[in-house]
């Protein structure tokens, strides 16, 4: 495979010389530019495969240049190069489409490894042979699906194949009109003769007549070029987008078709159109004589959204097909990903579904496909479905149905797919909700647990900057993937020292959980660990400047960080901690601090908080069905504290990083600085802290925890008790 051409964009000549020399020694073709404008000129005029782009550039900076590159060629891969103190900018760059980032100074081996990843990705995706041309003969004779519509189409194929009449197939783009044309041909008596495709969209008006009907050599040599009608012989001519054919050519085709229909030497015509033929006729774009040629046989392909029962079958079929096509091990959808795809409206129909599955197979290296592996555009459209309907649907009723479907699906997911809870929340009868689910073709995945739990890491490195709550210093996170069995490890950005995120290294549980190993420290770790717990990330290096940034006091930014990076399932299993009997910490009484853990199918936490006014008594039960439940119900809950506690912390040299935007501050009467995100935000935050501390055992937990007025100290006491009884390492 030809080595890619690399463009280096940096205003530091020393960087350009050093990197270009090293890469040229490796056999890569190099182009260079010292600013964004020069880079764009090169990209527009010369072939470029990979761009190494510095963030800090004169005039047009790196982010502006990245936007310009992606607008011009979204497929062009860009690696950002960053200096110290640019972590926020690096995050923005990754969100804008950068493939990865390198922190200066970086080694040649690091750069070569990223180039190798890009080459591997492109080598797979460079396959250009189209599906319908490359499938085996037996596969092109199959229409996938068991819905009533699919069965009806198969019956029509059989009847149309037997008649020999010309056929017009109408339907939305991607609905399968070409496939049905092939099925009819290969099921007919003409199957041994050619099937020729003529796409009207590929020619202008003059060319359509010449290519369809043939023409004499313009130099009058007596040589005549045969048109598609003649070349098709006794086979079938599939005319795609016949509505784009000019009216004179339509009339000529109509006359020829009437003559040829009784002549066995002429082809059968199967035409397709995305337009309504009656409307096209009434507005003069389709000639009535041509339409009359198809009156005996007109077939309408239903859109995929009306064949909801076939979507699951098609998803599994194409997933298996493309895994075989690209020589990859068999993959499988996780429940939430599968549910999202089943309930998507598929405006591009089967063609869109096929293309998306092919991209997923090519781009996702793991065996398990999560919801975060789905295209961002698809997930965004599912989340904001009502905004996407205006141009897609022809009638108000269709748009309303699409909105209702997404609305119900959203609330069903928020209520863990529990129809009774969802009906109550929406003030509907449960029978009414079930009838809507059936009416709109909503499919819910039960959340069944997999037989094996695999270790997980991130697909790429990510960065996030902020300020430490207790230290007040500027700090940040650099998340880097680790191989299987590495665990969660905190590292110091400055000296490279590391601490495993493990119970053995807990130094303090006062106000927050902190780790220490030698001179290395990692403070306020509970929020990021809770997020890793919810997303089941088991191998990761977290570089910090002693303290994890507080961000807005919640875990929302950490959720987004993981989703932006993408999650990779690894070829190694991880054991769950399965609670098989009851354990208790403290005395179980309403006025005491206590924790009880007992058997349960999923991690369930019931927490009771009873503080003075204005907090009062709050209770909340959280079930960790999936990461989305955590992201919506627990992650947004922020750190809180009473004014008197802040004063005490400050005397100890802590809480220096507390700001009005990252801390809920309470005095004796009211909340001082913010509006609550949930009426019970305080108790939800306690669950967030608990989930983080639980992950110090290094394994996801399956069991029910009942907690009353507890904090980090009791959380760690419970972990010690579990480790002693379950004999974990």
Q: Which residues are catalytic?
A: 712
Question: For the packed helices 396-414 and 376-383, what is the interaxial angle rounded to 10 degrees?
Answer: 100
* Residues 683, 689, 694: CA angle, nearest 5 degrees: 125
Beta-carbon contacts of 726 under 8 Å, excluding residues fewer than 6 positions away, are: 577
The tokens describing 269, both together, are 């015509």
* Residues 423, 377, 82: CA angle, nearest 5 degrees: 125
- Cα separation, 529 vs 700, in Å, equals 11
SS3 (DSSP) at 313: helix
The DSSP symbol for 450 reads: P
- Cα separation, 141 vs 154, in Å, equals 10
Answer yes or no: are the C-beta atoms of 354 and 178 closer than 8 Å: no
Q: Which among 563, 559, 544, 537 has a CA at the least distance from the CA of 484?
A: 537
Q: How crowded is the C-beta side of 244, counted as CA atoms within 13 Å?
A: 17
- Cα separation, 294 vs 285, in Å, equals 16
Cis status of the peptide bond prior to 105, with omega within 30 of 0: yes
The tokens describing 726, both together, are 């379950």
Q: Distance of CA 726 to CAs 421, 530, 579, 722, Å?
A: 35, 22, 9, 6
Q: Distance of CA 315 to CAs 103, 225, 356, 417, 569, Å?
A: 40, 44, 10, 22, 20
- Cα separation, 724 vs 706, in Å, equals 20
The backbone torsions φ and ψ at residue 193, rounded to the nearest 5 degrees and listed phi first, read -95, 170
Q: For 180-203, give the DSSP string.
A: HHHHHHHHSTTTTS-EEEEEGGGS
Beta-carbon contacts of 376 under 8 Å, excluding residues fewer than 6 positions away, are: none
- Cα separation, 121 vs 102, in Å, equals 19
The DSSP symbol for 560 reads: H
- Cα separation, 20 vs 439, in Å, equals 61
Answer yes or no: are the C-beta atoms of 16 and 10 closer than 8 Å: yes
Q: SS3 helix, strand, coil % of the chain, rounded to 5?
A: 40, 20, 40
Answer yes or no: are the C-beta atoms of 352 and 174 closer than 8 Å: yes
Note the Cα 481 to chain centre separation in Å.
19
- Cα separation, 113 vs 480, in Å, equals 14
Answer yes or no: are the C-beta atoms of 6 and 29 closer than 8 Å: yes
Q: For 33-50, give the DSSP string.
A: ESSHHHHHHHHHHS--SE
In this structure, the number of other CB atoms found within 10 A of the CB of residue 186 comes to: 17
- Cα separation, 244 vs 238, in Å, equals 14
Q: Distance of CA 218 to CAs 204, 206, 214, 223, Å?
A: 18, 14, 12, 9
Q: Could you tell me where the beta strands, DSSP code E, fall in 55-117?
A: 77-82, 100-103
Q: Which helix (H) or strand (E) holds 14?
A: helix 13-25
Answer yes or no: are the C-beta atoms of 664 and 683 closer than 8 Å: no
């Amino acid at each position: 495979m030809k080595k890619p051409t690399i463009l280096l964009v940096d205003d530091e000549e020393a960087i350009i010389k050093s990197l270009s020399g090293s890469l040229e020694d490796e056999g890569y073709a190099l182009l260079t530019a010292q600013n964004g404008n020069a880079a764009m000129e090169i990209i527009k005029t010369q072939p470029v495969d990979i761009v190494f782009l510095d963030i800090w550039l004169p005039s047009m900076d790196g982010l502006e240049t990245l936007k310009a590159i992606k607008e011009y060629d979204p497929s062009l891969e860009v690696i950002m190069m960053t200096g110290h103190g640019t972590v926020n900018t690096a995050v923005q760059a990754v969100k804008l489409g950068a493939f990865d980032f390198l922190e200066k100074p970086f080694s040649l081996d690091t750069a070569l490894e990223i180039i190798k990843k890009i080459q591997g990705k492109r080598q797979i995706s460079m396959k250009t042979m189209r599906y319908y041309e490359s499938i085996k003969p037996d596969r092109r004779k199959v229409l996938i699906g068991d819905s009533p519509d699919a069965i009806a189409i198969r019956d029509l194929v059989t009847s149309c194949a037997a008649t020999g009449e010309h056929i017009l197939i109408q339907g939305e783009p991607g609905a399968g009109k070409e496939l049905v044309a092939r099925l009819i041909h290969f099921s007919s008596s003409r199957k041994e003769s050619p099937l020729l495709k003529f796409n009207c969209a590929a020619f202008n008006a003059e060319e359509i007549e010449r290519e369809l009907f043939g023409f004499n050599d313009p130099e009058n040599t007596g040589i005549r070029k045969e048109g598609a009608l003649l070349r098709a012989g006794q086979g079938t001519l599939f005319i795609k987008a016949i509505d784009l054919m000019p009216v004179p050519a339509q009339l000529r085709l109509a006359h020829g078709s009437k003559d040829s229909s009784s002549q066995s030497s002429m082809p059968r015509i199967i035409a397709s159109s995305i337009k309504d033929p009656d409307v096209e006729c009434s507005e003069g774009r389709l000639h009535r004589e041509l339409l009359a040629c198809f009156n005996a046989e007109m077939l309408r392909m239903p859109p995929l959204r009306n064949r909801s029962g076939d979507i699951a079958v098609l998803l599994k079929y194409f997933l298996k097909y493309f895994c075989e096509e690209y020589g990859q091990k068999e993959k499988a959808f996780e429940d939430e990903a599968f549910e999202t795809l089943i309930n998507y409206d598929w405006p591009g129909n089967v063609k869109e579904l096929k293309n998306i599955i092919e991209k997923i197979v090519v781009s996702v290296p793991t065996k398990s496909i999560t919801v975060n592996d789905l295209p961002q555009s698809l997930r965004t459209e599912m989340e904001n479905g009502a905004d996407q309907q205006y141009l897609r649907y022809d009638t108000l009723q269709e748009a309303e149905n699409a909105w209702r479907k997404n609305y119900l699906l959203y609330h069903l997911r928020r209520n863990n797919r529990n129809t009774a809870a969802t009906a109550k929340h929406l003030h509907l009868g449960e029978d009414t909700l079930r009838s809507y689910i059936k009416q709109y073709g909503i499919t819910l995945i039960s959340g069944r647990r997999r037989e094996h739990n695999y270790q997980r890491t991130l697909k790429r490195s990510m960065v996030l900057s902020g300020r430490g709550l207790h230290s007040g210093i500027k700090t940040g996170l650099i998340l880097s993937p680790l191989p299987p069995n590495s665990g969660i490890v905190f590292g110091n950005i400055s000296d490279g020292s590391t601490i495993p995120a493990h119970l053995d290294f807990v130094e303090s549980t006062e106000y927050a959980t902190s780790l220490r190993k030698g001179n290395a420290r990692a403070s306020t770790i509970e929020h990021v660990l809770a997020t890793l717990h919810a997303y089941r990330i088991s191998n990761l290096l977290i570089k910090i400047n002693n303290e994890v940034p507080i961000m807005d006091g919640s875990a929302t930014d950490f959720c987004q960080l993981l989703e932006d990076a993408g999650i990779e399932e690894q070829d190694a299993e991880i054991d769950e901690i399965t609670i098989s009997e009851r354990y208790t910490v403290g005395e179980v009484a309403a006025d005491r601090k206590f924790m009880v853990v007992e058997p349960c199918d999923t991690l369930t936490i019931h927490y009771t908080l009873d503080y003075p006014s204005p907090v009062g008594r709050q209770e909340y039960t959280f079930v960790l069905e999936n990461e989305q439940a955590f992201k919506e119900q627990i992650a947004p809950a922020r750190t809180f504290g009473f004014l008197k506690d802040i004063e005490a912390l400050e005397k100890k040299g802590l809480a220096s990083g507390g700001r009005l935007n990252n801390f809920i501050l309470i005095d004796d009467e009211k909340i001082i600085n913010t509006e609550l995100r949930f009426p019970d935000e305080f108790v939800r935050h306690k669950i967030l802290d608990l989930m983080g501390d639980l992950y110090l055992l290094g394994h996801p937990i399956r069991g029910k925890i009942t907690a009353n007025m507890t904090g980090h100290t009791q959380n760690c006491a419970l972990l010690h008790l579990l480790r002693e009884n379950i004999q974990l390492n």
